[in-house]
Amino acid sequence: MAHEISWYMGRRILYVEIGERFLSARGLQEIDDQLTPFLRYGDSEVHVILDASRVDAVQPNLPLLLPALAYVRHPKLGWNVLVASDPVARAIQPLAPGLRSFGSLEEGLFFLEDEDTSLLMPI
């Protein structure tokens, strides 16, 4: 599995699970291309969780090979959360301004709940 995108909590959070151990510019571009259509169908503001916790290495010079990710400019994008080790986060963050990085999925979800209390309301 290269990556899988699915809705989490209705159409309020998109969860992107990156299953590769090595993240290439091509793989990240494929994720970027697929996120925009999902964002269009969100109920309102949509938060994105990029789970790169399985990624051990990132293609060298990734920011030079890939321009800024397009989905980060979508008007429905809320918070943008990355779950990754510090080296992976440092490689990806220049591509997505405003990206918040956490060491675990739980930390990222707690952050979203703190920042958007509407997530705690029943669906």
Average pLDDT on 83-90 reads: 94
Average pLDDT on 57-75 reads: 90
Which pLDDT tens digit goes with each residue over 18-49?
999 999 999 999 999 999 999 999 878 999 99
pLDDT at 9 over 90: no
Average pLDDT on 72-96 reads: 94
pLDDT given at position 79: 96
pLDDT given at position 62: 85
Q: Is 98 left (phi over 0), alpha (psi -120 to 50) or beta?
A: left
Q: 116 near 79, Cβ under 8 Å?
A: yes
Domain ranges, ordered by start, for the chain: 3-117
Q: 28 near 93, Cβ under 8 Å?
A: no
pLDDT at 94 over 70: yes
Helix (H) or strand (E) segment spanning residue 22: strand 22-23
Between 12 and 67, the more confident residue is 12
Helix (H) or strand (E) segment spanning residue 47: strand 46-51
Whole-angstrom distance, CA of residue 3 vs CA of residue 17: 5
> Chain-centre distance of CA 84, in angstroms?
10
Class level of CATH domain 3-117: alpha beta
Q: Closest by alpha carbon to 115, among 98, 94, 103? A: 98
- 64 confidence band (pLDDT: 50, 70, 90): confident
Q: Encoding tokens for residue 17?
A: 């699970």
111 by Cβ neighbours in 10 Å (0-12 / 13-18 / 19+) ranks as: middle
User: Cβ–Cβ contacts within 10 Å for residue 70, how many?
Assistant: 12
pLDDT at 1 over 70: no
